[in-house]
């Protein structure tokens, strides 16, 4: 069993919420059941990917609202919501509403930039303003201001007999602004997130600097350190910045032989993309980690990026079956997490 001088403090998982287009309700129900299972297993958080015009969750806000009524403790987040698809004012209203329904458990993860395959959808998404939409950091800054309760307008007060108007987004959920995360893939975005008071989500896809060797763990470590320095220097961060790492891990401790074969095929098929920079932007993908929990723990302790954090949101593979996710989550909670020094919620706290 590997040793760690820095026990893992928070353990979460991330799911895409895959569904069959012929029966989408079943896939969404499966995702809700997985979140419920995560709470029972003692996970600290569950995160939803955000997919548009694909066969994954397109409305994590609605899913988080549903999950909030079927759980009582586990934190629920997005990793990430691409703001290029969103109106920040409307999103601020939805996030605050669901956060209140959840009792202050939301962790909205955000990103900016032009929507994926924008040319194919801009005529429907922004038919009158597609050429002038601002997809820069200003979009997420606007959302943060609105979530924080800053004024939207000067007008407020009573009009007529019963109409009461506010000058800020309603409802307001105190504390939600401190639980906003930014999904950073480059050093620039990591520094921006730290400077502007966001928590940091660092995933299995990053963008090295031109002068960096494309070694994933080392690049991720450098980005996390740059974020931490920026957050420490920012008066807005006030030393409370959180950092979460997200890698794909597939423990096989309790897997059947058929599951192990399927998992290994999945990892082998994805491995070639990790061997060189991908696409015009030079994306660098992390290899998936597969094996027994002790073997994966050994690899994580040797991972420069993992050594920088004390909370993680391990990503579930995209295309597996419900029973596979049950096995993987159970092994993560009962074997891998403890091997990393993590204590499930309730252990030693008198919770059954």
297 contacts: CB under 8 Å, gap ≥ 6: 1, 2, 336, 339, 340
- Report if residue 91 sits inside a domain: yes
- Report if residue 5 sits inside a domain: no
208 vs 281: CA distance, rounded Å: 10
Query: For the chain, percent helix, then strand, then coil, each to nearest 5?
Result: 40, 15, 45
248 vs 13: CA distance, rounded Å: 9
Q: What is the pLDDT of residue 217?
A: 98
- Report if residue 351 sits inside a domain: no
Q: What is the pLDDT of residue 235?
A: 65
- Report if residue 169 sits inside a domain: yes
pLDDT in tens, 173-226: 999 999 999 999 999 999 999 999 999 999 999 999 999 999 999 999 999 999
Number of folded domains that form the chain: 1
Q: What is the pLDDT of residue 1?
A: 38
Task: Detail the DSSP E strand segments found in 269-329.
Answer: 284-285, 289-291, 311-315
Q: What is the CATH number of the domain that holds 271?
A: 3.20.20.30
Domain holding 210, by residue range, is 10-339
Q: What is the pLDDT of residue 79?
A: 97
Look-up of token digits 């994933």: 216
Q: What's the average pLDDT block by block, 10 residues per block, for the chain (352 residues)?
A: 70 97 98 98 97 96 98 98 98 98 98 97 98 98 98 95 95 97 98 97 97 96 97 71 97 98 98 96 97 98 97 96 98 98 75 42
- Report if residue 318 sits inside a domain: yes
- Report if residue 266 sits inside a domain: yes
- Report if residue 223 sits inside a domain: yes
């Amino acid at each position: 069993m590997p040793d760690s001088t820095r026990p893992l403090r928070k353990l979460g998982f991330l799911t895409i919420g895959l569904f069959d287009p012929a029966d989408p309700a079943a896939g969404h129900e499966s995702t809700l059941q997985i979140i419920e299972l995560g709470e029972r297993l003692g996970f600290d958080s569950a995160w939803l990917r955000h997919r548009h015009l694909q066969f994954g969750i397109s409305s994590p806000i609605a899913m988080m609202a549903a999950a909030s009524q079927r759980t009582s403790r586990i934190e629920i987040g997005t990793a990430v919501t691409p703001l290029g698809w969103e109106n920040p004012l409307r999103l601020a209203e939805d996030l605050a509403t669901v956060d209140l329904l959840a009792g202050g458990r939301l962790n909205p993860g955000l990103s900016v930039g032009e929507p994926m395959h924008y040319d194919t959808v801009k005529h429907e998404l922004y038919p009158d303003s597609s050429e002038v939409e601002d997809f820069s950091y200003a979009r997420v800054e606007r959302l943060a201001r609105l979530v924080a309760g800053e004024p939207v307008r000067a007008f407020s007060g009573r009009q007529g007999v019963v109409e009461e108007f506010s000058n800020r987004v309603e409802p307001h959920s105190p504390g939600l602004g401190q639980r906003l995360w930014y999904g950073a893939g480059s050093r620039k975005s990591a520094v921006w997130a730290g400077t502007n008071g966001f928590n940091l989500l660092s995933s299995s896809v990053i963008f090295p600097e031109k002068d960096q060797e494309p070694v994933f763990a080392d690049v991720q470590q450098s980005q996390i350190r740059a974020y931490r320095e920026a957050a420490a220097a920012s008066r807005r961060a006030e030393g409370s910045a959180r950092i979460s790492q997200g890698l794909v891990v597939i423990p096989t401790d309790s897997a059947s032989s058929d599951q192990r074969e399927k998992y290994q095929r999945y990892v082998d098929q994805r491995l070639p993309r990790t061997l060189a920079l991908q696409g015009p932007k030079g994306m660098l993908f992390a290899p998936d980690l597969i094996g027994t929990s002790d073997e994966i723990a050994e690899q994580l302790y040797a991972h420069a990026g993992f050594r920088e954090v004390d909370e993680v949101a391990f990503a579930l593979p995209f295309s597996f079956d419900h029973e596979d996710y049950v096995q993987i989550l159970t092994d993560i909670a009962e074997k891998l997490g403890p091997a990393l020094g993590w204590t499930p919620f309730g252990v030693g706290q008198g919770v059954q």
